[in-house]
Chain A
Amino acid sequence: MKKFLLPVLAGLFLFQSVTAQDLAEKSSVNATFQTDAAYYTNDKALGIDKTSLAGKRMGINGYTQVNYTLQNFSAGLRYEAFMPPMLGFPADLKGNGIANWYARYQVDKFSVSAGSIYEQFGSGMILRTYEEWSLGYDNALNGLSAHFKPIEGVSLRAVAGYQRSYWEKFESDNRGIVRGVYADANLNEIFPTLAESKWKISLGTGVVSKYEKMTTKTLIRPIDNQGSYEKYEYKLPSNVGAWSVLANLGYGNWSWMTEYVGKDPNPSALNNYIYRRGQALLTQITYSRKGFGVQLMAKRIDNMGFKSRMDEKGNVLDINFLPPVTMVHAYSFANMYPYATQPNGEMAIQGQINYKIPRNSALGGKYGTDVEIYFARVNSIKKESPAPGIPVDSTGTLGYTSPFFTFGDEIYYQDLKVQVFRKFSSSFKATAAWFSQIYNKDVIEGHNNEYGKIYTNIGVLDMTWKLDDKKALRLELEALFTQQDKGDWMGATLEYTIAPHWFFSIMDEYNYGNPVEEDQLHYFGVSAGYSIKSSRISLSYGRQREGLLCVGGICRYVPAYTGFGLTITSTL
């Protein structure tokens, strides 16, 4: 208990002493605090009882962050407690303490920071450190960073440090050191003659390198095609570099962004210790004017997994971020089979159109109608044997060769979405959506040809009635149809809100199509919430279906459970 209290009190003291000194004019403090807690109950249908819970009836995830600014100086502390972590969160998070701190000094052209550094180079494909509370994810770089703006429109950034891995103490042989520099140039700001130009041009380039102490590793390698193996000691590179070039071009309503990145040979557990170079290309073009927007994107990822520990395979120590070209949906069933980027190789395309059918037109109705069409498709890359007699992806070899612009034969994921939103009157509005998805369960979840692909069709009808100025009722109906996996589902959510404080909801998801009869379960839940200012408390009870929770680039598997949930959040 003492361990827990001290840092919190220290944070409070810092906070209090500042307000007391009446430095209000010069300094500012903000603090935020969140706790999520769950109490798990027995559930026969899910096979959850005292034994399966193993004494872990409760899960608590909590943190508090205090930021303090005094003129050019700022500093912050983050205290986290996972006692123990809630179901579905990495067990290694268990514990509590100061997870994070930083101190920064910032003047006009220059800033230096020490502590936990969050940084992104370009679109993140060579370096991105960030934190996502809802997933228990934090790959902060503990070290130093410096930003320098020699002239208007040019910025230089440098970082060095080691990454956070839960509560594990840094040792020189348990993870590497990451260093990087990045330069951005915005030509419209550099050259005054371009300031008012219709053309917008910005460029970026950077290098990241990882250093690990370990230089040899004994691994098993194939010695023939008959499945015979031998132990062999491999020399592994201590330094692995990655570089990026990025161009952003805009003209009027058009904009076009392309980033190409490359990586040195980086044999690691992720790529089965092959010595092939990595590369990735991301290009996207958008056109938009009022009432109409279109976006197209294409991506190739080839052997771009990059972690600061070569034998790491889990959701930790990622140096880079490979943006999935697929979408996180707002509706529950549409997110039942979510996609995660395959760092070892994928070819992907994506497109989205947004259109507002104008107000008072024949189709648009009194308030206009919003239409959204979205499509994404991800395939494998084509992999060919690197040399005669050597199977693709063999440890200790170059792995494979791959033609750059060729799509592989295997579908990883496909998503088609058509969504229409319309306000019918001042008191009624509705969204209707249809999704058609293909989900390659074996590839995405890493199974060995056990499940194959899942083909789903999903329909959603989401209606809101405004009862008066403050009260509203929302009914969401969803259905998912599939011949594979757990079969068909239907679901309904009824929500009642009294603005700005109260929220009540009741929901049920029913897996009526499950091929296993005793698994045809109802997932019923109720919840209520109260918000005031920047604080919110919500309480829920119910059965939660198992699933992948994905935010940004990573996904977390959450097992099914039944129980009470509590979330309290507050920001000052």
Chain B
Amino acid sequence: MRKLPILLILLCLTAYNQSFAQQQGNKLPSVTVKNLDGQSVKTDQLTNNGKPMIISFWALWCKPCIKELTTIAEVYPDWVAETGVKFIAVSIDDARSSSRVKPFVEGKGWDMEVLLDPNGDFKRAMNVNLIPHTFVIDGKGNIVWQHTSFSEGGELELINVIRKLNKGESLE
């Protein structure tokens, strides 16, 4: 049990992180990823013309990620019509499976924008460790909300965040 203090310190660090979570106003970092046509995209230039964006990290081998994207794909046209939100799914599949992403996404009939981050550059810059990890970016390009993991019904919380942003309400 000598290791208990270490655990406690790490727990405190988590609490510390949480207490600062409200101060988020970070912009997207600048790294290069690819779209499904193989064209380069700079991540700091991702925009939705002043409307909020959702960026979600996923991979083909991640079951909860597929569940999240399948669920959202179904309601996505309604979301766009209602809020104007844009959803960007960033696949962190490496060279082993990144070539299967496009046929998979098309085969599922998803309408969301999909980007490829095969060596995890964007993932590292965003400090993502477990996926799914979902970020909300407001119309001014600030990262204002994030969440890891997904379970059924989690999409309702997400769209509520977008609605609040559109109304100018506080996220707290």
A residues near B, CB below 8 A? 1, 4-5, 8, 12, 19, 24, 28-35, 37, 58, 60, 62, 64-65, 67, 69, 74, 81, 83, 106, 118-120, 123-124, 128, 130-131, 133, 186, 188-189, 200, 202, 248, 250, 255, 257, 284, 286-295, 297, 321, 323-325, 327-331, 352-356, 367-368, 370, 372, 421, 423, 464, 466, 468-472, 497-500, 502-503, 529, 531-537, 551-553, 566, 568-572
Kindly report which residue of chain B lies nearest to residue A423, judged by CB atoms.
B74
With contacts A323-B94, A533-B145 taken as known, whether A30 is within 8 angstroms of B66 at the C-beta atoms is no
- Shortest distance between the CB of A371 and any CB in chain B (Å): 8
Choose one: A33, A60, A290, A295; the contact of B14 (CB below 8 Å). Answer: A33
With contacts A120-B118, A255-B38 taken as known, whether A291 is within 8 angstroms of B109 at the C-beta atoms is yes
With contacts A1-B5, A130-B94, A290-B109 taken as known, whether A535 is within 8 angstroms of B17 at the C-beta atoms is yes
Are A330 and B38 in contact, with the CB atoms below 8 A? no
Are A118 and B119 in contact, with the CB atoms below 8 A? yes
With contacts A330-B63, A534-B146 taken as known, whether A293 is within 8 angstroms of B94 at the C-beta atoms is no
**Is B164 interfacial (CB-CB < 8 Å)?**
no
Are B21 and A202 in contact, with the CB atoms below 8 A? no
Choose one: B26, B95, B145, B147; the contact of A29 (CB below 8 Å). Answer: B26
Give B75-131 interface residues, CB cut-off 8 Å to A: 94-97, 99-100, 102-109, 118-121, 124-130
Bound together, the chains give a CA A423 to CA B71 distance in angstroms of 10
| 19 more A-B residue pairs beyond the given contacts A330-B63, A499-B157, A537-B14, with a C-beta to C-beta distance below 8 A | A19-B20, A28-B27, A29-B26, A31-B17, A33-B13, A60-B6, A128-B119, A288-B105, A327-B60, A328-B97, A330-B62, A353-B103, A367-B74, A421-B70, A466-B153, A468-B153, A500-B147, A568-B10, A570-B18
Bound together, the chains give a CA A353 to CA B100 distance in angstroms of 9
Task: Return chain A residues, CB-CB under 8 Å to B108.
Answer: 354, 356, 370
Are A533 and B104 in contact, with the CB atoms below 8 A? no
Kindly report which residue of chain A lies nearest to residue B29, judged by CB atoms.
A69
Give B1-38 interface residues, CB cut-off 8 Å to A: 1, 3, 5-7, 9-11, 13-14, 16-18, 20-21, 23-27, 29-30, 37-38
Highest count of chain B CB atoms <10 Å: which of A30, A118, A124, A569: A30
**Is B39 interfacial (CB-CB < 8 Å)?**
yes
Main SS at interface, chain B: mixed
Are B103 and A352 in contact, with the CB atoms below 8 A? yes
Highest count of chain B CB atoms <10 Å: which of A330, A472, A532, A534: A534
Kindly report which residue of chain A lies nearest to residue B19, judged by CB atoms.
A572
B residues near A, CB below 8 A? 1, 3, 5-7, 9-11, 13-14, 16-18, 20-21, 23-27, 29-30, 37-40, 60-63, 66, 70, 74, 94-97, 99-100, 102-109, 118-121, 124-130, 133, 145-149, 151-154, 156-157
With contacts A327-B97, A354-B107 taken as known, whether A202 is within 8 angstroms of B38 at the C-beta atoms is yes
Bound together, the chains give a CA A567 to CA B10 distance in angstroms of 11
Choose one: A35, A372, A470, A572; the contact of B10 (CB below 8 Å). Answer: A35
Kindly report which residue of chain A lies nearest to residue B125, judged by CB atoms.
A67
Main SS at interface, chain A: strand
Task: Return chain B residues, CB-CB under 8 Å to A551.
Answer: 61
Bound together, the chains give a CA A292 to CA B105 distance in angstroms of 9
With contacts A83-B6, A356-B108 taken as known, whether A553 is within 8 angstroms of B96 at the C-beta atoms is yes
Highest count of chain B CB atoms <10 Å: which of A32, A291, A372: A32
20 sampled A-B residue pairs with Cβ under 8 A: A8-B13, A30-B26, A60-B7, A123-B95, A124-B94, A202-B38, A250-B38, A255-B38, A255-B102, A288-B103, A291-B107, A291-B109, A368-B109, A469-B156, A470-B152, A497-B153, A499-B156, A535-B148, A570-B13, A571-B133
Are A534 and B147 in contact, with the CB atoms below 8 A? yes
Choose one: A30, A186, A288; the contact of B126 (CB below 8 Å). Answer: A30
Are B127 and A62 in contact, with the CB atoms below 8 A? no
Choose one: A250, A368, A568; the contact of B11 (CB below 8 Å). Answer: A568
With contacts A35-B7, A290-B109, A568-B10 taken as known, whether A535 is within 8 angstroms of B127 at the C-beta atoms is no
Are A531 and B147 in contact, with the CB atoms below 8 A? yes
- Shortest distance between the CB of B80 and any CB in chain A (Å): 16
Task: Return chain A residues, CB-CB under 8 Å to B38.
Answer: 186, 200, 202, 248, 250, 255
- Shortest distance between the CB of A78 and any CB in chain B (Å): 10
Choose one: B23, B121, B129, B156; the contact of A571 (CB below 8 Å). Answer: B129
With contacts A354-B108, A535-B148 taken as known, whether A67 is within 8 angstroms of B127 at the C-beta atoms is yes
Are A569 and B129 in contact, with the CB atoms below 8 A? yes
Task: Return chain A residues, CB-CB under 8 Å to B100.
Answer: 295, 327, 352
Task: Return chain B residues, CB-CB under 8 Å to A294.
Answer: 103
Are B99 and A295 in contact, with the CB atoms below 8 A? yes
Choose one: B9, B16, B97, B154; the contact of A499 (CB below 8 Å). Answer: B154
- Shortest distance between the CB of B123 and any CB in chain A (Å): 10
- Shortest distance between the CB of B106 and any CB in chain A (Å): 4
Task: Return chain B residues, CB-CB under 8 Å to A8.
Answer: 9, 13
Choose one: B10, B17, B109, B153; the contact of A472 (CB below 8 Å). Answer: B153
Kindly report which residue of chain A lies nearest to residue B155, judged by CB atoms.
A499
Are B94 and A354 in contact, with the CB atoms below 8 A? no
Kindly report which residue of chain A lies nearest to residue B120, judged by CB atoms.
A130
- Shortest distance between the CB of A550 and any CB in chain B (Å): 9
Bound together, the chains give a CA A29 to CA B39 distance in angstroms of 29
Are B99 and A257 in contact, with the CB atoms below 8 A? yes
Highest count of chain A CB atoms <10 Å: which of B18, B96, B130: B96
Are B6 and A62 in contact, with the CB atoms below 8 A? yes
Task: Return chain B residues, CB-CB under 8 Å to A12.
Answer: 13, 16
